[in-house]
Structure formats: structure tokens, C-alpha cells
Structure 1
């Protein structure tokens, strides 16, 4: 009967037989043969249909050859084994295969390869043993890549993740690179957020930031010196996973966490102006994830972590310097080379050795103990990051070098050299000539060292309206703008005076910013007592 399963048909036939219907009548009403009626009478379950015999194929004479190739692959290096394409080409060129398509050969190889591996004791399926993680004992660490739009440009950053195995609480940190600085900064940030260090082991793969050499196929590693010092400082017990894809299964929690974080928090691609802004977003995402529930767990991530937070090892009192100290020499372009990128320093430091503290996403340059420059770390290699302010003293002597200066182009791209600067420069050059006008602009740019950028821009705009194209005029207007700025020092100075409009005292302004003195007033009583004793003895 069309549309009825064989089991339902057998059930109907058996009901008809119990009702006393004859075999002929059942055949007529059910549209079946007498063999079907007899089979239903013998068993309520239909017998499986007999399989059709395999039809011959043009590939049959070549199957032993294919199997020989697959057997040879069992002893061959993993990257030099037969693919289906290579097997098909060998059959055509060496064994004159004709009339058989590539798809037929590929389907047979796909079916036969795992069978051959099983027959020869190879390729057994991995068994995943369920694990129980104790609270506060274990963590997992890994790096992943993320894509963000940084100041309008699509760039690839690195995402550090430390995940607690028991609660699933994960702490993330984005950085410009995935080097040792980012590795250490990620740990320090995670430990600060967690409030402690896992009391047991933290699982790692073979990151170059920690592992200098993998010894054979064992779990023994030669660790880097800075990583040894870091582990000693925070009392971290490291557990290294097996190399390759097998090791990923040993820290599957953090492997899946990075993918979850990308899909749920970084889609669509976030747009930020700095790595610091990106990390602020990431911190908010981590806090929001405390309210999610993993799988069929009874408690949320935050609730489970609250139970294990008190079991963590306490943090050390002394900080650990996560950055890397370097000592390059300043070249004749007032630049230092750090990790294949160039960064500017004040031109007075040319040909002098300086110190650089390299962090994951920025670097600070020191002249002795005095910081002289700070740069956001460049992504990639072969780039340069120059500040126009570092070249102003040199440009005073060489004003003709300013129009084509790379630092000027970067200042324009960053928006620090504004349209107001451009307009005033053009007007000053028209009034005083190119050389004198450019020198006047350089004097205006030097004002940025003492006044806020918006105050200088306001002074430039006021000077443009007044037709005053000297640096003194811009300085005067900029200081007027500073006087009317509620957040400026000049306003605080004026507020410290009793009479409005009176010129403020620098001493009074400094005194207003000093903390209150709670010490008692000095007294001369002890000295008077000493004087009294001296009179008695005399």
C-alpha cells in the first residue's frame, strides 16, 4: 500500500487474519501478494530486504594498486603521502587507467584509507576522558588573533586569554603584538582582575614567550630566563601541553573561549582610536560574561568564580616589570630602531645612547631616568612614528625642511596639525616670506609645550581674524583663551585672588594645590625648658 510503512502493513494484515478474513480477500483489499500475507502471519517485524549484489566497476582491476599505495603511506612522512589526486594521476600515467572519473577514485580512497589504517593498527580514534576541575586550582592560557578597525584602518591585534578551568571565568587583554611583553602584561592584568594566582597548574602550549626549546616529544621544556623569573615572582606552576593539534585538546577550554569571545563580542568589527580604548571595551565584555551560564551548569560564571576566588594564592607585594629594557643609540634622523620600527626622540639626543622600555602596546624612551618620548607601538615592521615636536629645534635652523618633513605629514594625518595651523602658516609666509613665516610657525608650535592644544588653536584662529601673523600675537591670544578656560591654571590662579580681574600670584596658585597641613604649630617650650636648666646649673 502506497504511503504506509511495511511495519504498519504487517500489523493491518495480522488484524485481518485475526478477524477471520481469508488470504485471497486480504490480497485483494490490501493489494499485496500471498507471500506478504504469509510473512506477516509468521512475524510482526518485516524481514530486511536482501541487498542487491555489487555491480562490477571499471575501477575493480586497479583497487589492489590503490591499496598498495595506501599501505605504503602508513610508513611515509605525513607531508609526503598520496592524495586522491596523486593516486589518480599515477593510475592514469603508470597503469593506463581509462574510463574512470577522478570522483570515483576519490570516493574509493576516502572510503578505503581509514579501513586500511584500522586493518594495520593505525589511526585509532582518540578517546576523550571527562575531567573534574577543582575550584581555584587550574587555569589555561592562550593567544588568539582579532581584527579591529584602529583609527579607520583594519588591523590585526593579539588577544591574550587566561581562563579558570572550574568556573570558566576568563580575563582577556588585547595588544599590538603577541610577544613576551604582551604575555607578561596579560598575566599581570589577569591576576589583578582575579585577585590571585591559581593554586595549582596553569596549562600552556609552546609559546615562544615562555619556551625556548621543546625537548623531543616529551613535556620537558627549556624555558626563557625572564619567564623563569616571572614564574618565581608570582609562584606560577606551569604545565606544558603536547606539541601539535593533540596539545590543543589538553586546554580546550581556553581554545573555545577565544572563539566564543570573537564571535559574541567582536562582531561587528569594533572601531577604536587606540589599543587602550579597545581594552576598556574588553574589560566591559568580561564583566558582562560573569552573568552567562556555560552549557547546563547550575551556576553562572560569576557565581562559580566567587566560590573559588578565596582559594587562589595571594599576589606578591612587589610589582614585576613586564616591559623589556633596550639600549639603542639615536641615529642622525633623531630616531631609534625598536623591533624593526623607527620612533622619534628629541633632536638634542642625536648620537647618544638612550633607554627604551618596550611594552606590549607602547614604549617609553628615557634619557637617563627622565622620560623624553612616549609612542604607541607600531603594528608590523618597517614603519616609523615621528612627532613633529621632536624636530622643532632643528627646524628652527633649517626652516626649509619643514614643508616636506615626514613628521609634518604624520601630524596632519593624526589631526594635531590642523587646518588653522595651515591657514596661519600660509598667511605668515605671504606676509613675511617663506623663511620668516616658517620660523614664526615653529615658534607657534613650541607653544604646545606649555599650553593645551585647543588653547593654541584658539589663539591661531583669533590671530587670523585680527590679521596678526607673528608668534607673539598667537601667544597672547592663546593665553587669553587659557584665562577663560575653566580647567586651565590661569582660572585657578584668578580664583585664588579676592578681587576679580586682578593678576594672580604664582605663589598663591601653588599654595592652593598643596594638601592641607595637619601638623601642630611649632612651639618654643622645649627650648625654654633647656634654657631654664642651663641657668640652674650655672
Structure 2
């Protein structure tokens, strides 16, 4: 291919009257090349001079001065064969099957397909393989069909993440559940610590409660909390959690195709939009508690829902009309994971690889466990025996010291280095370190009084006892002081100027007057 300056020399020499053969000889190039550019110049010049009204003059000028180029429009790779194309298409089909079966990370990339072809003794460059793969994929490119939606029919759900600093723990990724009805386009979102079954179910329960009803159809992508497994390329089996929600609320559901975010485009855009609009401003990404963060998220979503959109509509106004077409409102679905566990030798049950304590009288017995988004509740014989805040760490231990009182009475020496003491309430730990580090038995007795009378009452009793008898801080004395203080509180004199007292005094005064009158009357009759 000649350069632009070479084209210039050919045209200038042609204008000077040199023959094409002479130009080719002087510039050391083919006569056919010179003929080509001279003929192009003359044709374009004649067209420009003719000034045909339908001719764009700018295009003709551009054609004269543009850089020379080859016409490779219909030229294909020289080494491509039908057998080679068949192999590439087979590799792409395998990739599609792997995506459908949760093996997307094991797909063949273009470089892998090229190496595979070389192993098959095909002689082709990597760049040719890239062009062929693009051509084959473009051949199957689909058209999108615009949808029309009716009120109360379709709502889409998706997960997103937002990095927030909650409780001063530093920035962590929190899971953001987002709902967007296809018709009204409102946004409803909630934050969770984990993208698990309780969070999935609770988000739906809270959203339907907010809507005061639920939609006929819910749309999901291939998220693990909704899809249990793939059955072939297109069929998916729903999880137990989704099936339970569908049965309780009576909605149908459908899944999008793999890598087809456009099939739930409303919520796909909502995730990015809500995250940016709510948390992007300075100071909007730090909160004291998760509840505070969720309250802020809800309020900001409501502001967005009441703003006029580019089409001149207000989503919340449409949603108020949509509420009339929803299924009837039901009580909130209880979102939890139920399981039965055996209590181990440490008097704990293991839930999601974390240990939670129960009373030590239950070692070896089967208990029932309900795991919610924020707490763990444990039942035995239909009674609650333990409650814990749920831990989202790995291999964590949540221990309540009062669950081990029976065992610690038998083994008081085990108290000092125990996880139970380490994790106990700060005030209880202070009492141990201040008064009973050398007397674990007495501390355990005081601990029972704490659970009976309350930590505040025992703390006040210990302070009083320390003044009266610092050398003898026995549990019996602590209990006596607690009870005497309680009796004093009960026996506080009630003021005599309250409404009931005044009423009683008034009534008695009337009776006194009546009695006096009656007495005078009797005296007169006697005289």
C-alpha cells in the first residue's frame, strides 16, 4: 500500500504532463498502481467540476485527498476451512453448556480455542481466530422485543453490594436487596450482612408488607438463593426458600436466561442507581448500626420514588394506582432456616460453622434451631432455651456464661481462662476482676444473684458491702443487701396529697357534717 505523500507525487507529476509510464519509472512503482490513482483523480475531478446537484462536494474533495487504502470488504482469511469453523462452533457450544451448569469460570477463551485448533493441526493465527469467533457470535445476535406491562403484574428482584462503614468496623461489603415493579418503576431496597436464605425471604416479606400486597409474577436471575440447580440448558429448579415464598404469597416466578440482564432490565438499572444516589455523597456511607443504615436507605428511596422522571411521570403516583391491583396483603412471612442439632460436649450447637451455647444440662440432647437474619433462637421441648446475636464470622463461638453455672460449680478452676468469662458482659467481668479473682466459687454464687436480681442491684450492693465489710464479700451478704434495698423501695411513704386521698377526705368531711346535724336534731327531740 502506497502512502499519502506518494499519491500526492503521482497526481502532481500527472498534472505536470508526465506519462503514467514515466511516473512509474521515476517513482519505482507498478504502472498499474499509477494508472489506478491517476484514473481515480481524473474521475473524481470531473465529477467535482460537473457540480451535480445530487453530489456532496465535501465527499468528493475528501476522496481526492484521502489516504490510499485497499478494498478488503469481501476478503476472508486464506487458511480458514469449513472443518475449522465447525470446531470453533463446537467450542462455543461447550462454553454455553458450561455457563448453564454453573461452570462459567471453566469456559474456553479465544486464546484457548486457538491453542485447541493448533493441537488439531489447523494452521491459523490467533487474530484470525478472534475474527472468526466474533463473526460466529454476531451471527447469533438477537433482537430485543419491547414489552408492555400491566398494573400489579410483574416485579423484578436482584442483589447488589454497597461498601459501608457500620459501627466503626471499617468499610465492608453489605448485601443490598432491590425490588423494582416493571410498571411503576419504584425502588425498594434493604441492606443485609449476608446474601443468604433468611435475608432473601425477609426482604420479600418486608417489601410485600410495604406494598400492602404482592405481585402476580416475580423475576429473578440465576442467583443461588433462588435457583437450586440447572436441569439442562434452560430449565431451573427453584430453591426451597423460593418455593415457600411462592406458596405462601401465591405469586408465580420466572428466571432470566444466562447472562441476559436485559430480561430484568428495570431492577438491573435500579441496583446501580440506588447505590449511587443514596451512598455516594460524602458522609452517606457511615452509620452507627445496620438499622440506622436501612432507615436512611428507605427514606432516600422514597425521595427518589417521588421525583419526576425524564418521561414526566412520578413512580410513586403510578405505584399508588398499582396497589389496587395487587394480591391481598398477608401477615409477614417468618424468614428463617430451621434445623435440628445435637448439643456437643462444649454445650453448644453448630450453625453455619459457628458455635452457640445452650444450658449445660442439654449436652448430648437434640434441640431445634431457627436462624434469622440477625439472631439465633434455640428451642428444647417447645421452650426457648437460648438466644444469640447471629455471628457472620467463620468458626466463631458465642458463649453465655450463665449456661455453664452447673458445670462451673463443679469445676470452679476452669472459670479463669474460659471463653465464657472472656465473652461475658463488661460489668460482670469487672465484678470478677475487682472482688473475686481468688474466689471463683463465691463469684459463681454472686453470678446467680445477678441473673435473679439484675446487674445494677448487685453492683450497688457490692459497693455498699465494700464499705461495711471489705474483708467478707460473701454471696449471702450481697443477697441480703439486695433484698433490704428492695424492701426500702417498696416501703417508701406514699404522699397524702394525691387525688384519691383528697377525695376520701372530702367524703369523710361530708359524713362528719351529717353526723353533727343528726346529733343536734336528736338533742332537740330529747328536750
Q: TM-score range by the shorter chain?
A: 0.5 to 0.7
Query: Any gaps of 5 or more consecutive residues in structure 2?
Result: 1-43, 71-75, 96-106, 497-527
What residue is the counterpart of 2:4 in the other structure? none
| Larger RCO, structure (CA 8 Å, separation 6 or more) | 2
Q: Hey, what does 1:134 align to over in structure 2?
A: 150
Match of 2:324 in 1: 310
Structure 1: unaligned runs, 5 residues or longer: 1-35, 56-61, 98-104, 484-489, 501-538
Distance 1:202 1:400 in 2: 58
Q: Indicate how the Cα distance of structure 1 residues 353 and 150 shifts in structure 2: closer, same or farther if over 3 A, else same.
A: farther
- The aligned residue for residue 364 of structure 2 is 351
Distance 2:436 2:384 in 1: 35
1:145 lines up with 2:161 in the alignment = yes
| Cα distance in structure 2, aligned partners of 1:299 and 1:394 | 67
For 1:80, which of 101, 105, 108 is the aligned residue?
Answer: 108
What RMSD in Å do the two structures reach over aligned CA positions? Answer: 4.3
What secondary structure sits across from 1:153 in the alignment?
coil
1:235 to 233, 238, 250: 250
Normalising by the residue count of structure 2, what TM-score does the alignment of the two structures yield? Answer: 0.67
TM-score (norm. length: structure 1)? 0.66
SS at match of 1:183: helix
Contact 2:338 2:370 in 1 (8 A): yes
**Which of 405, 410, 432 is matched with 1:392 structurally?**
405
The residue aligned with 1:175 is 192
The aligned counterpart of 2:447 is: 445
Residue equivalent to 2:314: 300
Q: How far 1:69 moved relative to its partner? A: 11
Aligned to 2:344: 331
> What is the DSSP-based 3-state SS (H/G/I as helix, E as strand, rest coil) of the residue aligned with 1:80?
coil
Structure 1 residues 85 and 319, CA, compared in 2 at 3 Å: closer, same or farther? closer
1:49 corresponds in structure 2 to 63
The equivalent residue for 2:511 is: none
Q: Which residue of 2 aligns with 1:161?
A: 178
Equivalence for 1:322: 335
Cα contact 2:176–2:190 (8 A) shared by 1: yes
Cα distance change, pair 457–255 in 1 and its aligned pair in 2 (3 A): farther
Once the two structures are TM-superposed, the CA of residue 250 in structure 1 deviates from its matched residue by 0.8
Alignment partner of 1:381 is 2:394:
yes
Question: Residues 448-473 of structure 1, C-alpha deviation per residue, up to 9 Å, x if partnerless?
Answer: 42455455555555656777444456
Once the 2 structures are TM-superposed, how far is the Cα of residue 151 of structure 1 from its aligned partner? 4.0
For the residues of structure 1 that align with 2:463 and 2:166, how far apart are their CA atoms? 30
Q: Cα offset for 1:280?
A: 3.6
In structure 2, the CA distance between the partners of 1:239 and 1:426, relative to structure 1 (3 Å rule), is: closer
1:498 aligned to 2:494?
Answer: yes
Q: 1:136 to 1:49 in 2, by over 3 A?
A: same
Written as runs of structure 1 = structure 2, the 5 A alignment for 1:418-437 is 418=427, 421-422=429-430, 424-429=431-436, 434=438, 437=439
Q: Structure 1 residue runs of 4+, over 6 Å off? A: 36-41, 66-70, 84-87, 476-483
Larger radius of gyration: 2
Matched, 1:284 2:299: yes
- Report what 1:113 is aligned to: 130
With over 3 angstroms needed to count, the CA separation of the structure-2 counterparts of 1:380 and 1:114, relative to structure 1, is farther
Is 2:156–2:179's contact at 8 Å kept on the other side of the alignment?
yes
CA contact (8 A) 1:176 1:378 kept: no
Q: Is 1:455–1:479's contact at 8 Å kept on the other side of the alignment?
A: no
